[in-house]
Amino acid sequence: MSDLVLGIDIGTSGVRIAAIDHAARLVALATAATPAAHRDGQRITQDASIWVRGLDEAMARLGSMIDRSRVGALAVDGTSGTLVGIDDHGVPVTAGSLYNDRADDADIDAVERVAPPQAAVHGATSPLARAMRLLRTPGIARVLHQADWIAAQFTGRFDVSDESNALKTGYDPVSRRWPDWVAATNVETTKLPAVVPAGSVIGHVSAEASRRFGLSAQTVVVAGMTDGCAAFMATGATKPGDAVTSLGSTLVLKLASEVPLFAPEYGIYSHRIGDLWLTGGASNTGGAALAQFFSSEQLRVLSARIDPSVSTGLDYYPLPAPGERFPVNDPALAPRLMPRPDDDVVFLQGLFEGIARIEALGYRRLSELGGTSLARVVSVGGGAANEVWRRIRAAALGVPVMASANDEAAVGVARLALGPGSSS
């Protein structure tokens, strides 16, 4: 009986494996911590063997929770932009270059010269620029993304990636190919993986992996996605117009759109997941702006005294420091936090209202750029549990706003494995 699917989330600090049933209910969650990344100046790396040890440990723990022979499909997500160079046999010949590892200046310049503005390859940590450095390693045959290499532990296929993980390495999700300009960086596309849509079946569990992990050889392996896309999928936001707002130290907006958006001036690009595009932007407002004035306990106590049905009339743009990129692109934008009332309850409500207006402007900006109109918002992050803030945000957004039951990336990528043809 194959009534379960697995989602495997490979993070920089650990491996998390979620088993869900065909109704997307969480059945088991197994975890394994991994050692911290190695830092040498601006170089941030992690030995790929660490990822495998974490995988083996988490899979062993999962075996004490469920009968792994019940698993009909699995998919893997990894940190966006994390790369590893391998030889012809899939053995790493480089350390894993993490998503926040800095590329060499000459490689950054080479990418900047040829990449179109809308490509998601720009900046000091460009995965494409870092791939250039990895490919200069003797004995290297190909560069893979973290999720690709872990999925290959199950299939033995060290030559395939998905459209989500490949995006920041230069893959064009609109034309669905490695674009010609990539070759101008001296990266041979034959040294990059073939790319298939996220959710595509890429193979079955090999005989070796069946013995190693206790899985049926009939288990299907599905092309995965980045951890950020997986966290979006975990919320159940899967329809056009669904959005997820992360209320952490910053404000991050993601929208499920029927059309892709690429607006480099706002840091906006789009991941292709099935028939949808996940697009969005990040504002510098959020919890860090609140933390300048109030502790977590003060936020809890003061929030209970707010009447969200009565507006303060304050016009704040809360920022922890000058500078904003989305929904306003102004690196010198100053925080607007005056006048400050004597009553901290009113001041906090004004901050909540200001952040809510920024959130609403962000989703309007995505709509103005051609994105699907907002239909509902699911909230994740530390601020999602604040009911008063939720009511203020719902009024500003004009759509239903609800807290997410789950934002576990492992659950999201498991949901991907539930797609058509992905289970046996």
* Residues near 131 by beta carbon (within 8 Å), at least 6 away in sequence: 83, 143, 169, 187, 192
pLDDT averaged over every residue in the chain: 95
Q: Where are the alpha helices (DSSP H) in 269-368?
A: 287-291, 296-303, 344-368
The domain made up of 238-404 has a fold known as: Nucleotidyltransferase; domain 5 (3.30.420)
If pLDDT is split at 50, 70 and 90, which confidence band does 423 have?
Answer: very low
* Residues near 18 by beta carbon (within 8 Å), at least 6 away in sequence: 6, 7, 9, 26, 28, 29, 408, 410, 411, 414
* Residues near 384 by beta carbon (within 8 Å), at least 6 away in sequence: 247, 390, 403, 404
Q: Is beta strand 376-380 parallel, antiparallel or unpaired with respect to 242-247?
A: parallel
| Torsional sign, CA 193, 52, 248, 395 | positive
| Torsional sign, CA 349, 320, 378, 304 | negative
| Amino acid 175: pLDDT | 96
| Residues 56-104: tens digit of each pLDDT | 999 999 999 999 999 999 999 999 999 999 999 999 999 999 999 999 9
> What's at 206, amino acid-wise?
S
On the question of pLDDT at 180 being above 80, the answer is yes
| Residues 199-241: tens digit of each pLDDT | 999 999 999 999 999 999 999 999 999 999 999 999 999 899 9
| Amino acid 12: pLDDT | 82
Other Cβ atoms within 10 Å of 245 Cβ, number: 27
Is the pTM value of this prediction over 0.85? yes
On the question of pLDDT at 278 being above 80, the answer is yes
As a whole number, mean pLDDT of residues 28-47 equals 94
CA distance 202 to 75: 10
- Match domain 4-231+410-417 to its CATH number in 3.30.420.40, 3.40.50.1820, 3.20.20.140, 1.25.40.10: 3.30.420.40
At residue 78, the 3 state secondary structure works out as strand
> What's at 20, amino acid-wise?
I
* Residues near 382 by beta carbon (within 8 Å), at least 6 away in sequence: 247, 248, 287
If pLDDT is split at 50, 70 and 90, which confidence band does 1 have?
Answer: low
| Amino acid 424: pLDDT | 32
Q: How crowded is the C-beta side of 374, counted as CA atoms within 13 Å?
A: 27
* 132 within 8 A of 147, measured Cβ to Cβ: no
Q: How crowded is the C-beta side of 187, counted as CA atoms within 13 Å?
A: 31
CA distance 397 to 399: 6
If pLDDT is split at 50, 70 and 90, which confidence band does 419 have?
Answer: confident
Token pair in block for residue 107: 């490689």
CA distance 228 to 244: 11
What residue ranges do the domains of the chain occupy? 4-231+410-417, 238-404
| Residues 98-139: tens digit of each pLDDT | 999 999 999 999 999 999 999 999 999 999 999 999 999 999
| Residues 365-405: tens digit of each pLDDT | 999 999 999 999 999 999 999 999 999 999 999 999 999 98
Query: What is the percent of the chain where pLDDT is above 90?
Result: 94
| Amino acid 371: pLDDT | 97
